[in-house]
Amino acid sequence: MNITVFEVSPDERQELDRLSRTLPVSLRLVEKNLSMETLSLAEGAEGVSTLGRSRLDRPMLEALEKLGVRYVSTRTIGVDHIDLAAARELGIRVSHAAYPPAAVADFTVMLMLLVLRCYKPAMWRQNVNDYSLKGLMGRSLRSLTVGVVGTGSIGAAVIHNLSGFGCRILAYNLTDCEALHPYATFVDLDTLYRESDIITFHVPATPETCRMVNRESLARMKDGVVLVNTARGELMDIDAITEGIETEKIGSLAMDVFEHEQGIYHADRKTDILKNKDMVYLRQFPNVVLTQHMAFYTEESIVSMVDCGIQSLLDMKEGRETRLEL
């Protein structure tokens, strides 16, 4: 099977080389995003694989269909960069990736601990040989109530991690999960907002979840609430979040994702002027930790994402079922 792989990063090459030797595939590796300018590199391919920076909207999918591409994979869990409805109409089959939930779950708890123990201002001080403690008093996770919004594989893993800290755990999901009952109490979203000291979000970006954290929902939360987002930046109304930090309604904020992060995160922009003013402004606060969409970024995750991206294309072509098809 001929496959063009776009957005290839150096850390993916070893696994891609291994797959090219062990699977009946011929891989064309392209570092650039899939775009109208790079589309010709997919000529002769039956399938293409991308990451999240390539926008597979209707015009792009129509162009791929004209080239004879029938199978598309994204080496990401999220698929908000793909017009799935258009793909179905065009007869293009689409799959996404999976990776062990521990990567994001561990990172999520790390972010909680970073902001609870004031590590960002402590690190700043150490850089100028200031080892004072004033203003650095933290809080113990054990003494707090943590609300987990979304109990899919990652949310469930977060709950399992948190259970070892002895904190009270509340959970909200569209469907109940009996396997998590020994660790968390399932409640409605209003109750979770009202009673949680920390709230962490693990839901996909959909029309229903877009801007779910806004002025109205913040008003239902505790004063000084800690918010953690390792899911999608679109969950947050950034104007409301910024206002919440400025008024101290939000005690701390930790985000591994940011709306309009494309072209900034995963790139070296040291000497550039960043046009995402909200990101630049929020980064200054001592109680705000922003990381560069790296919660997923472990050796195990990269191998799994590459394997899913290639194997699912092959499975779809050869008529085998794949749990990753959308």
Write b or e for each residue in 92-129: b if 16 or more Cβ atoms lie within 10 A of its Cβ, otherwise e. Answer: bbbbbbbbbbbbbbbbbbbbbebbbebebebeebeeee
Instruction: Give me the sheet containing 185-186, strands edge to edge.
Output: 185-186, 168-172, 145-149, 198-201, 225-229, 250-255, 288-290
Rounded to whole angstroms, how far apart are CA atoms 24 and 254? 43
Distance of alpha carbon 67 from alpha carbon 65, whole angstroms: 5
232 labelled catalytic:
yes
Catalytic option among 261, 269, 320, 325:
261
- H helix or E strand, kind and range, residue 145: strand 145-149
Amino acid at 100: P
Catalytic residue among 7, 70, 232, 234: 232
Contact 103, 293 (CB under 8 A): no
| Position 170, amino acid | L
261 is catalytic: yes
DSSP secondary structure letters along 6-25: -S--GGGHHHHHHHHHHSS-
User: Which secondary-structure segment (H or E) carries 227?
Assistant: strand 225-229
Q: What is the dihedral of CA 314, 86, 78, 212, to 10 degrees?
A: -160
Would you call 181 a catalytic residue per the annotation? no
| C-alpha–C-alpha distance, residues 142 and 155, integer Å | 19
DSSP codes of every residue in 23-48? SS-EEEE-SSPP-TTTGGGGTT-SEE
Q: How many residues does the chain have?
A: 326
CB 132 within 8 A of CB 125: yes
Separation of alpha carbons 255 and 232, rounded Å: 9
Q: Which residue numbers are catalytic?
A: 232, 261, 293
